[in-house]
Amino acid sequence: MQVELLYHTPDPERAVATAARLCYAPIGAAELLDSMTEQQVNKVLSTIMASGHFSALEHGSYTFAVDGVSRALTHQLVRHRIASFNQQSQRYVAYKEGLNVVKPQTVSAQSETDTIFDEAINAALTAYEKLLEAGVPAEDARYLLPNAAETKIVITMNIRELLHFFTLRCCNRAQWEIHELADRMLELARPTAPYIFLDGGAPCIRGNCPEGKMTCGNPFPKVSRV
């Protein structure tokens, strides 16, 4: 899996603080953006993060490039509807020279299951290639391709949705592959806005686990902004 932060809103914490402060300021947003001190920015951020007034977070956005993940992952990813996605198309990209796949460790850990997996992938790919050779369009031959097929995707989320994504997918109960993706995205985002993303991640970082009897039983230490 390769995850790269392509770009983000310049100085996202100042942008968010400007949007939030405008509601109560007699001056315009451009003047606020230039005139607020770092102390004032942090004070505004502290207020909105503590109060739950997260609409201002929507004024900052992040775009990530993700390669080498499975279609099983992206089927989960696109359920986050307040986001923008562009994904490598199996309709227009024909895999005539082989197909890379993502193999779960639970499969590769045993020689028997590893062999079963490889044989199924090879059979599907052989059939796929035969359909292409027979003149079947790639958009129809792709019906044979497995969820394990590697893909590439570009993801854009505003900060509010990004924090929500981290809350759901950094949890230990999230599926392992999307959990890894969320962890890597958080690692890239946090240095750009350390105050906003300070307690980004699984909800147990901010307090009690909401999973009830489904809890993993191994919560993170609680993080405080104070």
169 part of the active site? yes
Mark out the alpha helices in 52-158 (DSSP H runs). 71-77, 105-108, 111-133, 138-141
- Of 14, 21, 169, 190, which residue is the catalytic one? 169
Q: Is 201 exposed, middle or buried (0-12, 13-18, 19+ CB in 10 A)?
A: buried
Cα dist from 79 to 2, 3, 143, 210, whole Å: 21, 19, 21, 20
Q: Cα(195)–Cα(65) distance, rounded to whole angstroms?
A: 24
Q: Of 46, 17, 85, which is closest to residue 25 (Cα–Cα)?
A: 17
Q: Is 183 exposed, middle or buried (0-12, 13-18, 19+ CB in 10 A)?
A: middle
Cα dist from 89 to 5, 117, 153, whole Å: 21, 24, 10
Strand partners, 87: 153
Q: Which residue has the tokens 């942008």?
A: 15
Q: Cα(203)–Cα(168) distance, rounded to whole angstroms?
A: 8
* φ, ψ of residue 153 in degrees (nearest 5): -150, 145
- Give the residue numbers annotated as catalytic, written as ranges: 169
